[in-house]
Amino acid sequence: MKLGKSLIVAMTGVGICLALPGCEKVKEVAADAAGLPTDKNILFWTNDQRNKAFRMMDSLVPSNTIAAGEKPRILEQGKALPDEFQVDGKSLSIDQYMADQNAAGIVILQNGKIRLEKYRMDFGKDDRWTSFSVAKSLVSTMVGAAIKDGYIKSLDDPLVDYIPELKDSGYDGVTVQQLLTMTSGVKWNEDYADPKSDVALFNNAKPVDGVDPIIVYMKTLKNEAEPGTRWQYNTGETNLIGVLVAKATGKTISDYLSEKIWVPYGMSHDAEWLLNEGGKEIGGCCISATIRDYALFGQFAMNDGKIRNESIVPDAWFAKAGTKQADIGVPGRGYGYQWWTFDDGSFAAQGIFGQGIFVDPARKLVIASNGNWPSASPDDKKNQRIAFYNGVQAYLDSEASEAGQIEGTSDVN
């Protein structure tokens, strides 16, 4: 039974606020007795509180269901990967890596088959975990689907063609593509530690005359750089992408995601998309799904959005979405259409506290994991995760090389 009326969530790329309206102290006491958080800021939650809350956010707050179909895709078992990899020049076991990351689960696919699957923290393959900004990569894919379906004409279209409430705001003159790449040039402060930052203030926006609260806040912002000339991480803009898709299609983004991917691609379980104070999905965050289904989404992206040999997105969509469209100032990395990109052709969906989907088309590799880092985005955890990805890549390269040498010997004989 959901407690949606008693808890409101406003989540961002670097934080999540939990508010109890009125004086519903009984429910607050009950949550406290269950070991669940009752304060407003996720950064103040204990590890134990996050361990409990992350796996049941959709039971605590309002959400829309992303319905799965009746025919889930069967994931075959492939050749098992080893129990340890060389990571940063040292041997690192899967168990130790998951402990270091405080990960509840990890699934590694290659060629669409499971090569490694492991869980801990009393979490299993049928359990859901909230993904935070991993949702950004899913909602951007819905833009591609909406273009393929004719709901959105072009990435070059002005955003105000679809969200007219943004006329005369900083987003007047910004294109759909510039929104996808976070290059709008609109002034935005993503510093969650600053109570006067946009990322803190827009959480408190309320619907006005039925207008989505994200529009209510974002239309107050001004432009400070020429659109397309500057990249700046902006969770509010991903929330606007959700508004864009909903307005263009006339459907909730949960229903559209179910229709285009969750059902036809054969996701194993229903997922849940958490809602804002206006009763709309939080486009920049907050999908609760199983690790296997996150991995399947990575597989879907690696196959350029094809389902039964027909892509639901325009041709070569992911070749652009998963490659650098904006320079983020980090050598070897960039930003695509709401995906973090690497110059070797791989790309990733990433969320605070350790959620991620890594996609490497060259090696036909997908790594999906979730977790509960000690803080939202600690450098040591992020760096270890990337080093682990690299360690898996290196192992697969050596495995392929060895297989090639064996095949060559066999051919000669």
In a domain, 365, yes or no: no
| pLDDT at position 287 over 50 | yes
| pLDDT at position 411 over 60 | no
Beta-carbon contacts of residue 92 (< 8 Å; ≥ 6 apart): 84, 85, 86, 388, 391
Residue corresponding to tokens 């998951």:
98
Beta-carbon contacts of residue 356 (< 8 Å; ≥ 6 apart): 134, 348, 349, 350, 367, 368, 369, 370, 385
The stretch 325-348 carries a mean pLDDT of 98
| pLDDT at position 19 over 70 | no
pLDDT at 13: 35
The stretch 373-399 carries a mean pLDDT of 96
The interaxial angle of helices 134-148 and 235-249, nearest 10 deg, is 30
Q: How far is residue 275's CA from residue 9's CA, in Å, rounded to a whole number?
A: 7
Higher pLDDT, residue 240 or 13: 240
In a domain, 90, yes or no: no
| pLDDT at position 326 over 70 | yes
In a domain, 378, yes or no: no
pLDDT at 9: 37
In a domain, 28, yes or no: yes
Residue % of the chain over a pLDDT of 70: 87
Identify the burial level of 135 via C-beta atoms within 10 angstroms of its C-beta, where 0-12 means exposed, 13-18 middle and 19 or more buried. Answer: buried
The phi, psi pair for 109, rounded to 5°, reads -110, 145
Strands 63-66, 306-307: pairing kind = unpaired
Closest CA to 318 of 301, 334, 333, 306: 301
The stretch 161-188 carries a mean pLDDT of 97
Domain that holds residue 47: 8-66
Higher pLDDT, residue 47 or 395: 395
Q: How far is residue 270's CA from residue 2's CA, in Å, rounded to a whole number?
A: 15
pLDDT at 59: 83
Show the tokens assigned to 91.
């041997």
Which amino acid is located at 147 in the chain?
I
In a domain, 328, yes or no: no
Closest CA to 240 of 217, 256, 257, 258: 217
Domain count along the chain: 1
In a domain, 32, yes or no: yes
In a domain, 30, yes or no: yes
pLDDT in tens, 102-148: 999 999 999 999 999 999 999 999 999 999 899 999 999 999 999 99
In a domain, 363, yes or no: no
End-to-end CA separation in angstroms for the chain? 66
The stretch 173-186 carries a mean pLDDT of 98
pLDDT at 44: 67
Q: How far is residue 371's CA from residue 356's CA, in Å, rounded to a whole number?
A: 9
The model's confidence at residue 408, banded by pLDDT at 50, 70 and 90, is very low
Q: How far is residue 151's CA from residue 79's CA, in Å, rounded to a whole number?
A: 42
Show the tokens assigned to 268.
């194993």
Q: How far is residue 315's CA from residue 389's CA, in Å, rounded to a whole number?
A: 28
